[in-house]
Structure 1
Amino acid sequence: ATDVGGWFGSEQQFGLRANVAHEDLNSYVEHANGHRDFLSLAFDWNISPDAVLQLDAEYQNKQQRSVPGYQLLGGTELPHNASPRKLLGHQSGANQVGIDSLNLNGKFEYRFSDQWKGSVSAAHSKVVIDDYSSFAWGGDTAGNENYFSPEGDYGIYDFRSPDDTRRDDEIQAAMTGLFNTAGLGHELTFGTSAFRRVIDKRESINEWIGTGNINQEPENFPRYAGALNDSHRNLDSRQYGLFVTDRISFNEQWQTIVGGREVRLDEKAFDAQGNESRHTQQYVFLPQAALIYKPIENLSLYTSYSKGLSLGGQAPWFALNSDETLAPTVSRQIEAGVKYDWHRISFAAAIFQTRQAYQYAKPDDAGTFTYVQQGEQKNTGLELSANGWATERLQIATSVAAIRARVTGSGTPEYEGHQAINVPRLRASLYADYALPWVDGLALLGGVQYSASKYANRTGDVEVGDYAIVNVGSRYTTRLDGYETVFRLSVDNLFDKRYWRDTGEYLGDDYLFQGAPLTARLSATVNF
């Protein structure tokens, strides 16, 4: 990788920075190596003391095989002796997943006075995904087919979904000003924005070609030889917004933030044949508010409330409404906390609650599924953290979070009354960076990550165990030929522990992914 840049021009008013990188992706999973190419350009123009133009462009191409997750054996049991290095469903002729992404951003900012400034910005993003996979799925013919069999058998599917194209365009104009009224200080921001997201894709192909077993290397099967489906519009989502936010200072101790965004939503969704299946038109108000109290300089107490708008989920292939994108959902978050700075360490504590629509493939008595938004998932938690310098040579970062996640009102009682899938009740981490006093430039690094047990299915009757992972490393900073050079060595999962890092859901199915095994990395960075 190379990152270069500098200022030029008669008054050093132009700035240019380029970043070029190539990475060989050497995966710990067998047959899953790949590569990534990256290019970015950033241009700044100080047109005058009051006017600045910023332009950014970024392109990335990534090619790597998809790694399927495990599924429960018979729907009730965790896989035995699973290896994080095994590529389930491996077929030697399978294509890699290709991802092409392009991001363009531009912003013009003008300062009208010491108190007021305005900006206009625009952004364009395009991502094209060629999704190919020899996918391991199902195999439990005696029960639910979307689990591996009790003996570890699974089906191998030739999955193809190329030319999945996603385009985002956004433009925004905003003004920010500082002023006082009636003894109150105001930092006012207001503006307008427009956003459009378009998704074009083919109806995916998912053809069974053979069977495998989690304890054996599968044989190669003939690939699907049929034609691809035609591309069609899947989603056309437009949002037009007006927003205003005011940070009001009452005195040195009290501040409040009040504001919101009014959004006009106009969204069309289409089925697998490209026919319009939904047209949502509505106005949504997204408020935000916060109150901040600083009794002394290094202590802050706060509380906040906000709403957010997110795109709806996409129905899985086996649902009656397969490929349908549901309407956008509104999430809510409330938080209260305290922050305290002591010497060179910042301590923080917060309690929070998030509420979001529950989206899932709802079963019926006929054994079929319909992807719906019904009920909500509510996460309530407490988070504690400390970050900073414990001594002149020791830097620490630590956090612990306890979370209670519950689903209510889903219409499926088996999914309620217990911790939600893939959410541990407790997470904690501790990292330390210690500069050795007897070797200038040498530092030792170390850390521990902990996760409590969590459920591996929505009914909450299969659980993966808790785990603690130890990571160590070192960093050496020196100068070579006058250039600052940094060597880094990291060793993750020092004791090569086997654990399930993720037990989440993807497109309606439950999957289990193992954490990385013992992994060592060595790198060098030269600053010039």
Structure 2
Amino acid sequence: MQKKCSRNGRCNDAVMCNRNPGNRLGRKLRGKLGSGFIGESLRLTPLAIALLTWSAHSYAETEMPTVNVTAQQGDESALSSYRAYIGSSGALGTKELLDTPFSVSVATKEYIANQQATTIAEAFKGDAAVTALSNNIGGENSQIAIRGLALDTLNGYKIDGLNTVLWQADLPLEHFEQIEILKGLSGFMYGFSSPGGIANYQTKRATQEPVSMVSVGYGTQSQFKAQADIGRRFGDNDRYGLRVNAVHEGGTTYLDAPIKRDSVSAAFDVRLAPGLVWTLDGLYQKRKVNGSLFALTLADGVALPGPVDGSQRLSQDFTYHETTIAAVGTELRWNIAGSWDMRLGYRSMRQTRTNYDSFLTVTDNAGNYNEDLYRWYSKQNSDSANLLFSGQIQTGSISHDVTFGTDMQRAERINGNFGDDFLGVGNLSRDTTFANPGLPVDQALFKASDTRNIGVFASDTIHWNSQWSSIIGLRHSNYTQHSYNLDGSTSDTYTKTALSPTLAMIWKPAASVSYYVSYVESLEQGGSAPLSTVNYGTTFGPLKSKQYEAGVKKEGRGWSAEAALFRIERGLEFTNSANVYIQEGALSYQGLDVAGRMELGRDWGLMASAVLMNSSNKSDDPSVDGKRASNVANFTAALQAEYKVPTLTGLTFSGGTRYVGKQALESDNAHIIGSYQLYDIGARYKAKVGGKDVIFRANLDNLTNEKYWLGSWNGFLIQGAPRTLRASAEFNF
């Protein structure tokens, strides 16, 4: 089987190969720049530099009396570990990102660790195309939008390419090697999902080098975290591999409320025979955060209030949001003969969610609100499987990379009886305390809906010559959705079959540059009327989306850049003036997505990205027709810099800024959320302590303590996170 190694020689698939940096792909890629993940930048003030330097050294100094500390030479470039060159493209298989006719963004484990990111929004805060819709301290979880389109919580998240349900929950980032975001439609590549995109989490697995890592961390207000990561290959010729990861988080959040999170994962693999590998992995997490807010909404005629401080707790101290997730996956990979491979995989996810949190309705322009306690228990289940064959065929001078197969994904929502209890009246300008009614959360469950999608797909990547190639892909989807009444009877059934084509042309006049045009169609699941609407629980049939994209990707020595023009067309769902959630009309998004990275000598790295967007609703409802799409900023931008101090080897400073423009909160544009700009600074120090690698990190996010609103779906608001400090020490044995 062809080995998959990254451009810096590190194996991306240690399960299948014995880390041979001299293989064909490694030789082809060696010597090209590994620049950084799209990020942010900030001019560091002398005070900030002094504080961060003190923070990094303070950890080292605690060890100085008993051990020897020696600074360790860092990476060859400031950004080399942030740049990914190979990624999964679903049904298209694993490809070099330069050869994919789509926009793909990758957060590597090094970037995630250096940013001390805890959510997917933080992991991609350097990509201007990815914007936060919520946060998992002030709100229930970290929701994101890609190019203004919310990621589908039922079908938009994958683990190793297979679907996993994340209904108001977050996957623990510590267990994953990298996260890949496919921007836009995924119809052929991944099948059924919204046009926002796909987030694919790649599981950490045993590599050829042993892994023994322990880290401890601290965050505002008094959050703490401990993690252990152990990986080994063993047996004859390293036949077996095992990677185990465990995380515990506790303490008090910046809302002065408790948090507790425990997660553990294990990934096992065995080389059954040459070219035949079986993998098995599992992940479990239980997370409970107090003081979280279900959402804040505005009564009719009420103006948008000014944003509140992110550290102000709007909910009661007895409220909480708790989720558990349990996932298991297995895959068999077989190199049948020559270039022909087979992959057979299955993944199951089970999730529970308990709401005992506040819902605020602002009733007047003075900031007065009614506070309700939402009590709700629910379950979400998903199962997915795929069978994929891939190989190469030669027809004269023309070569073909062929893939074909089938997949299935099923999602099920099981709800409990919903409880809504009025607590009292408060005001956004002050803390208000109410007594805990002490009511139970009803755990009597009934099935609300289930969906099933079976797909059959095939594609041909045709290499006409050394410069020109084209992709022809076709997926047939058979989609069924059932909705149920409280007594278990079926209330609605939707069945739809559709063909989803993917067409693309790629021109590579040189090995380091590619121009492409692509067209994709996709099906997405219809929405469900939210709690605040009069037709709550009503579900709608699937929608069809289309995407057109033209772009360029370029890699140079010490720099890289990409740009994409795109247009997305999809069906429109919104809450009308009668407070009824409906599916009617259409909307379009078009824009320009650009990003670039540059290394200035050995010490400086700069990264930047920006997205220009224009969106428009088309509807028979005059209050919505021609208005901007909700939660879409016309302009977002991010800039980041990293500086390796040449006089103190191992010390790196970083800084960034991120701008998000104004957004419409609802489809009728009744409220416009103001723009905001965030600044971050950080420092890390890599050293040898007693002969072992140690990395000290400190990050200060939202340096200026900007107050801002995040607009979530259906006109809900969540306060943005305040200034937060994170510090950690990582020990590698």
TM-score by length of 2: 0.66
Taking only the aligned residue pairs, the percentage that are identical comes to: 27
Match of 2:312 in 1: 86
1:236 to 440, 444, 450: 450
Aligned 8 A contact 1:271 1:323 in 2 = no
Distance (Å, rounded) in 2 between the aligned partners of 1:415 and 1:360: 9
1:292 to 506, 515, 518: 506
Matches of residues 155-174 of structure 1 in structure 2 within 5 Å? 155-162=370-377, 164-174=378-388
Match of 1:427 in 2: 636
2:277 to 47, 52, 70: 52
Match of 2:570 in 1: 356
Report the alpha carbon displacement of residue 11 of structure 1 after superposing the two structures with TM: 2.5
Match of 1:98 in 2: 322
Report the alpha carbon displacement of residue 300 of structure 1 after superposing the two structures with TM: 1.1
Task: Give deviations 1:210-262, integer Å, cap 9, x for gaps.
Answer: 22221232232452748837411111211111111111100110011111210
Matches of residues 408-423 of structure 1 in structure 2 within 5 Å? 408-409=618-619, 411-423=620-632
Match of 2:603 in 1: 393
Aligned partner of residue 150 in structure 1, secondary structure: coil
Aligned 8 A contact 1:292 1:301 in 2 = yes
Aligned 8 A contact 1:89 1:212 in 2 = no
Match of 1:269 in 2: 483
Report the alpha carbon displacement of residue 461 of structure 1 after superposing the two structures with TM: 4.5
Distance (Å, rounded) in 2 between the aligned partners of 1:511 and 1:194: 33
Q: Which amino acid aligns with 2:287?
A: K
Q: Which amino acid aligns with 1:348?
A: E
Report the alpha carbon displacement of residue 452 of structure 1 after superposing the two structures with TM: 1.8
Q: Which amino acid aligns with 1:10?
A: D
Distance (Å, rounded) in 2 between the aligned partners of 1:121 and 1:394: 43
Q: Which amino acid aligns with 2:407?
A: S
Q: Does 1:339 align with 2:553?
A: yes
Match of 1:524 in 2: 729
Report the alpha carbon displacement of residue 290 of structure 1 after superposing the two structures with TM: 1.1
Aligned partner of residue 268 in structure 1, secondary structure: strand
Aligned partner of residue 11 in structure 1, secondary structure: helix
Match of 2:711 in 1: 503
Report the alpha carbon displacement of residue 307 of structure 1 after superposing the two structures with TM: 1.9
Q: Does 1:513 align with 2:718?
A: yes
Counterparts in 2 of 1:178 and 1:81: CA distance versus 1, 3 Å: closer
Report the alpha carbon displacement of residue 160 of structure 1 after superposing the two structures with TM: 0.9
Match of 2:583 in 1: 373
Distance (Å, rounded) in 2 between the aligned partners of 1:55 and 1:459: 48
Aligned 8 A contact 1:485 1:527 in 2 = yes
Q: Which amino acid aligns with 2:304?
A: L
Distance (Å, rounded) in 2 between the aligned partners of 1:395 and 1:166: 43
Counterparts in 2 of 1:485 and 1:75: CA distance versus 1, 3 Å: farther
Match of 2:175 in 1: none
Aligned 8 A contact 2:307 2:708 in 1 = no
Report the alpha carbon displacement of residue 406 of structure 1 after superposing the two structures with TM: 1.0
Match of 1:141 in 2: none
Report the alpha carbon displacement of residue 465 of structure 1 after superposing the two structures with TM: 2.8
Task: Give deviations 1:179-237, integer Å, cap 9, x for gaps.
Answer: 11132111101011222111111131112232222123223245274883741111121
Aligned 8 A contact 1:158 1:224 in 2 = no
Identify the range of structure 1 (237-246 vs 210-219) with the bigger mean alpha-carbon deviation. Answer: 210-219
Aligned 8 A contact 2:307 2:719 in 1 = no
Distance (Å, rounded) in 2 between the aligned partners of 1:211 and 1:473: 41
Q: Which amino acid aligns with 1:277?
A: S
Q: Which amino acid aligns with 1:504?
A: S
Matches of residues 32-71 of structure 1 in structure 2 within 5 Å? 33-65=258-290, 66-71=292-297
Where has structure 1 moved over 6 Å in runs of 4 or more?
A: none
Distance (Å, rounded) in 1 between the aligned partners of 2:525 and 2:712: 19
Aligned partner of residue 439 in structure 1, secondary structure: coil
Aligned 8 A contact 2:375 2:441 in 1 = no
Q: Which amino acid aligns with 1:128?
A: T
Bigger Cα Rg: 1
Report the alpha carbon displacement of residue 451 of structure 1 after superposing the two structures with TM: 1.6
Counterparts in 2 of 1:360 and 1:74: CA distance versus 1, 3 Å: closer
Identify the range of structure 1 (269-278 vs 250-259) with the bigger mean alpha-carbon deviation. Answer: 269-278
1:29 to 233, 255, 258: 255
Aligned 8 A contact 2:685 2:696 in 1 = yes
Report the alpha carbon displacement of residue 74 of structure 1 after superposing the two structures with TM: 6.0
Distance (Å, rounded) in 2 between the aligned partners of 1:481 and 1:454: 52
Higher strand fraction (1 or 2): 1
Q: Which amino acid aligns with 1:489?
A: A
Task: Give deviations 1:370-394, integer Å, cap 9, x for gaps.
Answer: 3221112211001111025232222
Q: Which amino acid aligns with 2:638?
A: S
Task: Give deviations 1:85-142, integer Å, cap 9, x for gaps.
Answer: 222242x433x21101011110001111112111211111111111221322x2xxxx
Match of 1:142 in 2: none
What's the C-alpha RMSD, in Å, of the aligned pairs?
2.0
Matches of residues 170-249 of structure 1 in structure 2 within 5 Å? 170-221=384-435, 223=437, 225=439, 228=442, 230-249=444-463
Counterparts in 2 of 1:70 and 1:93: CA distance versus 1, 3 Å: closer
Report the alpha carbon displacement of residue 488 of structure 1 after superposing the two structures with TM: 0.8
Match of 2:348 in 1: 124
Match of 1:3 in 2: 229
Higher relative contact order (CA 8 A, sep 6+): 2
Aligned 8 A contact 2:588 2:617 in 1 = yes
Counterparts in 2 of 1:328 and 1:224: CA distance versus 1, 3 Å: farther
Aligned partner of residue 623 in structure 2, secondary structure: helix
Match of 1:109 in 2: 333
Distance (Å, rounded) in 2 between the aligned partners of 1:76 and 1:210: 19
2:369 to 154, 159, 170: 154
Distance (Å, rounded) in 1 between the aligned partners of 2:658 and 2:252: 24
Match of 1:144 in 2: none
Q: How many residue pairs get matched?
A: 506
Counterparts in 2 of 1:122 and 1:457: CA distance versus 1, 3 Å: closer
Distance (Å, rounded) in 2 between the aligned partners of 1:228 and 1:180: 62
What residue ranges of structure 1 are gaps of 5+ in the alignment? 139-146
Q: Which amino acid aligns with 1:431?
A: Q
Distance (Å, rounded) in 2 between the aligned partners of 1:57 and 1:369: 42
Distance (Å, rounded) in 1 between the aligned partners of 2:407 and 2:526: 21
Counterparts in 2 of 1:339 and 1:81: CA distance versus 1, 3 Å: closer
Counterparts in 2 of 1:217 and 1:495: CA distance versus 1, 3 Å: closer
Q: Does 1:404 align with 2:614?
A: yes
